[in-house]
C-alpha cells in the first residue's frame, strides 16, 4: 500500500506531473512530508496540496472490514477458526484451540528446558493430515543453532502417532514436508526471509518455526550507527507474512540474567523503588527474556518455560485470549506432555518471571529419551 | 509581511512582494485586471489569489454573536456542551471514577503500559462499550479499531461482546419493568458488526489512514471512538531520520486532535513503553519521546503494583492525578476482585 505509485492514482494531470517532476513517485514519498513542505516543494497553493494529499491518503489507506465479517470469514475458511492444536489439552483450552494463525507465538525459557522439543512436535503436527488434527501442509523450520534432529522428529512421530507412522512411506512423507534452513548470520537470515515470502504463497506452507531469534542477534557485531532495534525490520516482515498468509509462526527466545539495575518502575512510583532494589538476593535465580521490551511488545502470545524446584512449567504469560495459567510438564519420548490439564492460575507479574531453580536436577536424573 | 503568511505558492508570493504588495490591505482596493497586468499572470490566477486573500481577512473581522474571533467558542458555551457529552464507560467502576465517568469524547486519550498489562483488552472493551444504547446510559455509537501490531483477536472481541450483552440483559431485568424487561435486544454479533477494523502495515499507511479518517467519519456519522493499537509500533523501527519522525508524529497528533474536536469522537491511542534515563537512574516511560508526550490531552499509564493492575492518570487538564485498580477477566475489564470487600472512603 505504501508503495503505490502516485501516477496511477488518478490525480488531475497537472498536479500529477508536478509530483513526478519533483521525484515524488510513491505514496510513501508524498506522505513522509508535511503539507507545508509539499507546498514549498511543489510550488502550488495549500488547497491544492490538501486535495492531492487527501486523494493519495484515501487510496493508500488499507481497506476496512467489520469484525463480524472477519469472524465469519475465519469460521468458513480456516481450520478450527484459525488455530493449530498442540495436542496438549490444557494449553489448547487456554489458547482457545491452539497456536493462532496470523500471530507470533514466542517460547522463552532457559537452555535445555524443552523449547526445541516443542518446536519439533509442533512441526510434526502441522504436517499431519487433517483427520489427525494437523494442517496437512509444509513447514519451514529456520534452525539457527543446529538443534533440529530428524531422528528425534521421527521418534516423536512414532511414539505419538503410531498408527500413522507405521504405515509404509508415511514417515518419509511427513518428514519430507519439513524444510530446514540454517542461516549462519543475520544477513543470511534476511535473505532467506525474502525467499520464504514467495514460497509461502506457492508451496502450501502452513507453519513457520524460527529457532531461535535471539541467537541471530547475539552473534552480530554492531557496525555503523546503532539502529533503533536490530531485528525491527525482521519482526515487521514476519508479522506481515503471518497475517497476510494466515499461518502460525512460532519463535523461540533465549534468556539472560537479570542485572541489578533492571528497571521496572515508572517515575511516579518512586516511593516503592527502595524496596525493589534491596531484593537483590532473588536476582541470581531470576532470568529475563532476551531481546528486550520492544520484542516483548511485538509478539502476540508468549509462553514461558521454566523450572521451579525440579518441576518444569509452561506458563501462558502474554495472551489476549487466556488468563495467566501455568501447567506442569515433562519431556518424554513422544515430545512434551502436560502433567495437569487444569493449570494453576498465577496472579500478578509473576507470570512473566523465569525461574531455573533445580534445573540441573532434571537434566542429570530424568533421562527418559 | 502579511502576504508571506497566506497559503499561496512560493512563486505567487514572490511576485506579489516584488510588485510591492506586502500587506493584505494593499490588495483590497485593486481591480483584478490591473493586478494581472502588474504581476504578469492570467486573470483567473489573480481571482484565485484574491479569493484566498479575502478568506484570510474575513477571519480577522469582527463576527456576529458573542465571538470575538470567527470560529471560536466562549468558555461558558463549552461548559454547557461538556455537561451534555456522555462518556464511554470502561466497565470498571473504579477506573470510571477517576476518569470522571469514563473516556471523554472530543479529547485524545493516550494509554500506555508494559506488554501484557491489558492495553489491547481495554481497547476492545471500549470498542464494545461505545455501542451500549443511550437508554442504558451509553453512546450508541460505532467504533473504529486501527490495528498496527496484529494483536486484535476476533475471538476475544466476541467474548467481550457476549459478556456486555449478558450484562445488559441482567441490567434490564433488574431495573426496568414492563414488557421490555429481559428482552435481548443486542446480540453479540450486532456488537461486532459495528466495529470497523483496519489493519495498518507501515507508517505510511498509518498516516494515510489518519488523513482518510475525516472523510470516513463524515460518511459514517455514528462513529464515536477511534482506537489506535498501537500508535508506536511502526514508528519505532526503520527510522533513521529522527527529526522526520518527530515531524510526522506531530502532524499526526494535530490531525487526531482536530478529528476529535470536529466530530466529537473519543480518540484513544495505545502506546508502548521504553526505558529512559533521568535523575541519575533508568526508569520506564511511554515510547515515542518527549515531543510526543504533548500530543495527547489525557495520559493514563497502566502498571503493576504488587499483584494487581493499576491505572494511573499521568497527565490531564481536568482530572486529578489518581490511581485505580482494575482486573482483566474472561468478560473483559472489570473491577478488581479484592476491591469489592473494601469499604469505600470518600
The reported pLDDT for the residue numbered B58 is 59
User: What letter would DSSP give residue B338?
Assistant: G
Dist CA B128 CA B152 (whole Å):
13
Residue A120 has pLDDT above 60, yes or no: yes
Q: Based on DSSP, count helices (H) and strands (E) in chain A, helices before strands.
A: 16, 16
pLDDT band at A307 (very low <50, low <70, confident <90, very high): confident
Asked if A348 and B151 come within 8 Å (Cβ–Cβ), the reply is: no
Interface test with A, best of B131, B151, B241 (most A CBs within 10 A): B151
Which residues of chain B have a CB within 8 Å of the CB of A238? none
Interface confidence (ipTM) of the complex: 0.82
Nearest alpha carbon to residue A116 among A209, A6, A241: A209
Asked if B208 and A57 come within 8 Å (Cβ–Cβ), the reply is: yes
Asked if B237 and A229 come within 8 Å (Cβ–Cβ), the reply is: yes
Most confident among A16-25, A131-140, A218-227, B118-127 (mean pLDDT) = B118-127
Residue A361 has pLDDT above 60, yes or no: no
pLDDT band at A278 (very low <50, low <70, confident <90, very high): very low
Largest Cα–Cα distance in chain B? 83
- Residue A150: its H or E element: helix A150-160
- Yes or no: say if A313 and A329 are a contact pair by the CB < 8 Å rule: yes
- Yes or no: say if B48 and B185 are a contact pair by the CB < 8 Å rule: no
Q: Which of A106-110, A336-340, B171-175 has the lowest mean pLDDT?
A: B171-175
Which residues of chain B have a CB within 8 Å of the CB of A292? none
Q: Which residue of B has its CA nearest to A299?
A: B151
> Beta-carbon neighbour count of residue A117 at 10 Å?
20
Residue A158 has pLDDT above 60, yes or no: yes
Which residues of chain A have a CB within 8 Å of the CB of B207? 31, 57
CA distance B223 to chain A (A): 13
Q: Which residue of A has its CA nearest to B159?
A: A321
Asked if B208 and A58 come within 8 Å (Cβ–Cβ), the reply is: yes
- Residue B217: its H or E element: helix B203-219
Residue A329 has pLDDT above 60, yes or no: yes
Which residues of chain A have a CB within 8 Å of the CB of B304? 348-349
* From A53, A63, A267, residue closest to B283, measured CB to CB: A267
The reported pLDDT for the residue numbered A102 is 86
- Yes or no: say if B277 and B294 are a contact pair by the CB < 8 Å rule: no
CA distance A228 to chain B (A): 6
- Yes or no: say if A20 and A7 are a contact pair by the CB < 8 Å rule: yes
Q: Which residue of A has its CA nearest to B187?
A: A68
Quick check: pTM over 0.90?
no
- Mean pLDDT for chain B? 83
Residue listed under C-alpha cell 533492571: A262
What angle do helix axes A35-42 and A13-21 make, rounded to 10 degrees?
90
CA distance A18 to chain B (A): 13
CA distance A147 to chain B (A): 29
Which residues of chain B have a CB within 8 Å of the CB of A92? none
pLDDT band at A364 (very low <50, low <70, confident <90, very high): very low
Interface test with B, best of A48, A59, A68, A78 (most B CBs within 10 A): A68
CA distance B319 to chain A (A): 16
Question: pLDDT tens digit string along B121-154?
Answer: 999 999 999 998 888 888 889 999 999 888 888 8
The reported pLDDT for the residue numbered B30 is 77
Query: Which of the pair, A157 or B68, is modelled with greater confidence?
Result: A157
Nearest alpha carbon to residue B203 among B258, B246, B266: B246
Dist CA B57 CA B50 (whole Å):
10
Secondary-structure breakdown of chain A: helix, strand, coil percentages, each rounded to the nearest 5:
45, 20, 35
Residue A126 DSSP SS3: helix
Question: pLDDT tens digit string along B62-75?
Answer: 444 445 676 778 88
Q: Which of A136-140, B71-75, B76-80, B303-307 has the lowest mean pLDDT?
A: B71-75
Residue B45 has pLDDT above 90, yes or no: no
Nearest alpha carbon to residue B200 among B252, B146, B253: B146
Three-state SS annotation for B125-158: HHHHHCCCCHHHCCCCCEEEEEECCCCCCHHHHH
CA distance B227 to chain A (A): 14
In degrees rounded to 5, what are phi and psi of residue B209? -65, -40
Of all residues in chain B, what percent carry a pLDDT higher than 90? 24
Question: pLDDT tens digit string along A204-223?
Answer: 788 999 988 888 776 554 44
Asked if A66 and B200 come within 8 Å (Cβ–Cβ), the reply is: no
The CATH code belonging to domain A79-258+285-351 is 3.40.50.300
Average pLDDT of span B78-91: 83
Residue B82 has pLDDT above 60, yes or no: yes
CA distance B173 to chain A (A): 27
DSSP string for residues in A248-270? -EEEEE-EEEPPTT----BGGGG
The reported pLDDT for the residue numbered A35 is 81
Asked if B303 and A100 come within 8 Å (Cβ–Cβ), the reply is: no
* From B150, B205, B247, residue closest to A1, measured CB to CB: B205
Question: pLDDT tens digit string along B240-277?
Answer: 788 888 888 888 999 999 999 899 899 999 998 887 77
Asked if B208 and A1 come within 8 Å (Cβ–Cβ), the reply is: yes
Which residues of chain B have a CB within 8 Å of the CB of A60? 204-205, 208
Asked if A40 and B10 come within 8 Å (Cβ–Cβ), the reply is: yes
Residue listed under C-alpha cell 481577512: B57
Amino acid at each position: 500500500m505504501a508503495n503505490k505509485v502516485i501516477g496511477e492514482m488518478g490525480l488531475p494531470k497537472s498536479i500529477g506531473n508536478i509530483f513526478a517532476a519533483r521525484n515524488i513517485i510513491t505514496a510513501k514519498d508524498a506522505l513522509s512530508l508535511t503539507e507545508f513542505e509539499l507546498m514549498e516543494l511543489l510550488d502550488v497553493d495549500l488547497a491544492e496540496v490538501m486535495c492531492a494529499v487527501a486523494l493519495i491518503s484515501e487510496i493508500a489507506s488499507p481497506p476496512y472490514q467489520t469484525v463480524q465479517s472477519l469472524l465469519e470469514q475465519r469460521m468458513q475458511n480456516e481450520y478450527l477458526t484459525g488455530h493449530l492444536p498442540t495436542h496438549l489439552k490444557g494449553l489448547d483450552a487456554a489458547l482457545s484451540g491452539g497456536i493462532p494463525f496470523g500471530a507470533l507465538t514466542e517460547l522463552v525459557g532457559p537452555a535445555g528446558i524443552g523449547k526445541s522439543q516443542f518446536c519439533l512436535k509442533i512441526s510434526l503436527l502441522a504436517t499431519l493430515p487433517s483427520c489427525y488434527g494437523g494442517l496437512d501442509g509444509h513447514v519451514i523450520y529456520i534452525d539457527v543453532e543446529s538443534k533440529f534432529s530428524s531422528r528425534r522428529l521421527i521418534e516423536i512421530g512414532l511414539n505419538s502417532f503410531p498408527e500413522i507412522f507405521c504405515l509404509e512411506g508415511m514417515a518419509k512423507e511427513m518428514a519430507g514436508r519439513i524444510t530446514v534452513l540454517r542461516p549462519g548470520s543475520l544477513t543470511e537470515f534476511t535473505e532467506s526471509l525474502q525467499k520464504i515470502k514467495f514460497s509461502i504463497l506457492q508451496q502450501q506452507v502452513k507453519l513457520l518455526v524460527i529457532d531461535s531469534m535471539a541467537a541471530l542477534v547475539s552473534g552480530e557485531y554492531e557496525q555503523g550507527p546503532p539502529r533503533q532495534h536490530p531485528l525491527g525490520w525482521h519482526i515487521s516482515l514476519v508479522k506481515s507474512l503471518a497475517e497476510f498468509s494466515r499461518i502460525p509462526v512460532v519463535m523461540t527466545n533465549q534468556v539472560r540474567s537479570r542485572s541489578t539495575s533492571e528497571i521496572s518502575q515508572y517515575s511516579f512510583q518512586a516511593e516503592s523503588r527502595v524496596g525493589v532494589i534491596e531484593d537483590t538476593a532473588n536476582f541470581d535465580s531470576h532470568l529475563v527474556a532476551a531481546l528486550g521490551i520492544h520484542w516483548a511488545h511485538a509478539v502476540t502470545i508468549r509462553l514461558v518455560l521454566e523450572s521451579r524446584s525440579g518441576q518444569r512449567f509452561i506458563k501462558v504469560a502474554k495472551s489476549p485470549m487466556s488468563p495467566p495459567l501455568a501447567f506442569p510438564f515433562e519431556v518424554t519420548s513422544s515430545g512434551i506432555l502436560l502433567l495437569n490439564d487444569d493449570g494453576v492460575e498465577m496472579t500478578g507479574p509473576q507470570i512473566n518471571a523465569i525461574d531455573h531453580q533445580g534445573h540441573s536436577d532434571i537434566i542429570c536424573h530424568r533421562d527418559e529419551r | 509581511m502579511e502576504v508571506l503568511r497566506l497559503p499561496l505558492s512560493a512563486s505567487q508570493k514572490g511576485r506579489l512582494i516584488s510588485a510591492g504588495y506586502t500587506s493584505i490591505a494593499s490588495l483590497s482596493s485593486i481591480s483584478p485586471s490591473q493586478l494581472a497586468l502588474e504581476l504578469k499572470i492570467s486573470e483567473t490566477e489573480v481571482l484565485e489569489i484574491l479569493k484566498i486573500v479575502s478568506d484570510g481577512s474575513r477571519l480577522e473581522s469582527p463576527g456576529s454573536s458573542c465571538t470575538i474571533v470567527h470560529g471560536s467558542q466562549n468558555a461558558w458555551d463549552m461548559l454547557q456542551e461538556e455537561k451534555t457529552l456522555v462518556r464511554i464507560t470502561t466497565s470498571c467502576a473504579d477506573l470510571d471514577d477517576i476518569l470522571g465517568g469514563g473516556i471523554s469524547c472530543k479529547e485524545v486519550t493516550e494509554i500506555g503500559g508494559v506488554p501484557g498489562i491489558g492495553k489491547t483488552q481495554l481497547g476492545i472493551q471500549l470498542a464494545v462499550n461505545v455501542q451500549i444504547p443511550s437508554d442504558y446510559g451509553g453512546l450508541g455509537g460505532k467504533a473504529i479499531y486501527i490495528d498496527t501490531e496484529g494483536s486484535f483477536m476476533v475471538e476475544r472481541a466476541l467474548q467481550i461482546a457476549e459478556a456486555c450483552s449478558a450484562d445488559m440483559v441482567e441490567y434490564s431485568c433488574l431495573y426496568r419493568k414492563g414488557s421490555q424487561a429481559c428482552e435481548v435486544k443486542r446480540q453479540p454479533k450486532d456488537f461486532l458488526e459495528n466495529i470497523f477494523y483496519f489493519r495498518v502495515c507501515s507508517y505510511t499507511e498509518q498516516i494515510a489512514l489518519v488523513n482518510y479518517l475525516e472523510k470516513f467519519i463524515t460518511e459514517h456519522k455514528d462513529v464515536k471512538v477511534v482506537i489506535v493499537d498501537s500508535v508506536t509500533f511502526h514508528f519505532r523501527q526503520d527510522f533513521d531520520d529522527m527529526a522526520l519522525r518527530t515531524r510526522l508524529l506531530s502532524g499526526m497528533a494535530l490531525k487526531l486532535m482536530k478529528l476529535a474536536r470536529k466530530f466529537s469522537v473519543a480518540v484513544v491511542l495505545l502506546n508502548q513503553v521504553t526505558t529512559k534515563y533521568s535523575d541519575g537512574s533508568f526508569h520506564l516511560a511511554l515510547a515515542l519521546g518527549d515531543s510526543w508526550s504533548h500530543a495527547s490531552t489525557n495520559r493514563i499509564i497502566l502498571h503493576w503494583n504488587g499483584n494487581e493492575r493499576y491505572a494511573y492518570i499521568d497527565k490531564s487538564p481536568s482530572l486529578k492525578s489518581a490511581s485505580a485498580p482494575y482486573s482483566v477477566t474472561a468478560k473483559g475489564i472489570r473491577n478488581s476482585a479484592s476491591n469489592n470487600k473494601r469499604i469505600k472512603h470518600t
